[in-house]
Amino acid sequence: MHYDCVNGSHGLPYDPFKAIVAPRPIGWIGSKGKSGIQNLAPYSYFNAVADKPHFVMFSSVGIKDSVKNIEETGVFTFSLATEKLFDAMNGSSAPANYEIDEFKLTNLPYVKGKFVDAPYVKESPAALECEYWKTIDIPGADREVGKGTYVIFGKVVGVYIDDEFITDGVFNASKARPLVRLGYMNYGVVGEENTFTKNRPQLDENGNLLEVKEWDGVYR
């Protein structure tokens, strides 16, 4: 099938877009407003966008509490959502009022960031502490009514890793078993049973693919 997603209709019970662009990391974003009320919310449009320097982004449909807090205070955190923490992550997605602290709502212990004044999930295997850079209002967004999509960018200024998940000097993501978002109400888990290692090839002097047996730590 083909369909025009701008002017047409897919004719399916639900929009398949998110099921096609999958899996996606879950941006479990911690923030705190000027009032001191904390917020924790998962976003399925989340990813790293640069590593020199480290930058991450997430997008929000509507100006939700996370966006308000981050634009007020200039900081936020990302906590790695894992299989073990699924129920708490899912619970923090409930559309709670601004006065509700999702850490308390989901009975999650938190830690105040070492580098920024924002909380992250204590039981998470890893967390990123971020300084707010900018918001991009996606075309069609209307701040006066709070509708549309807003993309938040942050510079990572601090990283926390639970030493339990460092193996031979490498963060063992398979051991941490991070959650990923699929389409509809579906999720997945990254674990040792579904991960593998393969180095990227190089080219020899004749322009042919050359297998690389040992990775030198450089992303090409």
pLDDT of residue 32: 97
pLDDT of residue 52: 93
Give me the half-sphere count of Cα atoms (radius 13 Å) on the Cβ side of residue 135.
Answer: 21
Q: Are 41 and 64 in contact (CB under 8 A)?
A: yes
Tens place of pLDDT per residue across the chain (220 aa): 999 998 888 999 999 999 999 999 999 999 999 999 999 999 999 999 999 999 999 999 999 999 999 999 999 999 999 999 999 999 999 999 999 999 999 999 999 999 999 999 999 999 999 999 999 999 999 999 989 999 999 999 999 999 999 999 999 999 999 999 999 999 999 999 999 999 999 999 999 999 998 888 888 7
Residues 73, 74, 79, CA angle at the centre, nearest 5°?
Answer: 100
CATH code of 17-210, in short, is: 2.30.110.10
pLDDT of residue 196: 94
**CA 212 – CA 47 distance, rounded (Å):** 28
Residues 94, 97, 103, CA angle at the centre, nearest 5°?
Answer: 60
Domain ranges of the chain: 17-210
pLDDT of residue 216: 85
pTM of the model: 0.95
Q: Are 53 and 155 in contact (CB under 8 A)?
A: yes
Give me the half-sphere count of Cα atoms (radius 13 Å) on the Cβ side of residue 154.
Answer: 30
